[in-house]
Amino acid sequence: MERITRKQLLKGALAGAAGVAAIPLTSSVALADEGGQVDVHVHGTVRLTAPSGPPLNLPKGFPVEINVDVAGRRTDDGSAPLSGAGWDTGNADAHNQGGACYYAQRGRLKEDMVDVHGAVLFSNTPAFVGAPVHTTADLKTGEIVWTFGGLNFAGMGVVTKVD
């Protein structure tokens, strides 16, 4: 078996890394030629604004971790119709993931406000499937207002946009 020198190994690794780094550049040109693509990410902890009452009996301030990723293309008026999905859980750091949901969302980005709505598609709590979900988020302040099945939540988070 032939031995490889350290110099040969580093040269080969550098050439391979350069080749891998070039792949996105060549493939993204075809996607970016028209422009106007907008991607929005919303992540944060929102808290219940009032006690929920039966059957959930959640206290005011109950925390829920949410993530929403939506994308679209800018229109002539500067707004952008968006569609995508999100997930939530009241137990992000725990092994108990009861109540976790995945939902579709669609709506619009207008100036600094993201406003999307949809419904739960999958949940490990069957009663949550079909529940309406509405997310409003401010790109400037990071403020998030989230409604889940008639329960209102609010909080701060990361709200980012990539055009």
- Give the pLDDT mean for 40-54: 94
Position with higher pLDDT, 60 vs 97: 60
- Residue 9 has a pLDDT of 52
Q: Flag whether pLDDT at 152 surpasses 60.
A: yes
Provide the residue ranges of all domains of the chain, joining segments of one domain with +.
37-162
Read out DSSP for 18-32?
A: HHHHHHHHHHHHHHH
- Residue 6 has a pLDDT of 58
Q: Give the count of beta carbons closer than 10 Å to the beta carbon of residue 116.
A: 25
Q: How many Å apart are CA 132 and CA 148, to the nearest integer?
A: 6
Q: Which helix (H) or strand (E) holds 41?
A: strand 37-48
130: left (phi over 0), alpha (psi -120 to 50) or beta: left
Q: How many Å apart are CA 87 and CA 69, to the nearest integer?
A: 9
| Count of helix runs (H) and strand runs (E) in the chain | 1, 8
Q: Flag whether pLDDT at 124 surpasses 90.
A: no
Q: What is the pTM of this model?
A: 0.76
Confidence band, pLDDT 50/70/90 cuts, at residue 30 = very low
The whole-chain average pLDDT of the chain stands at 84
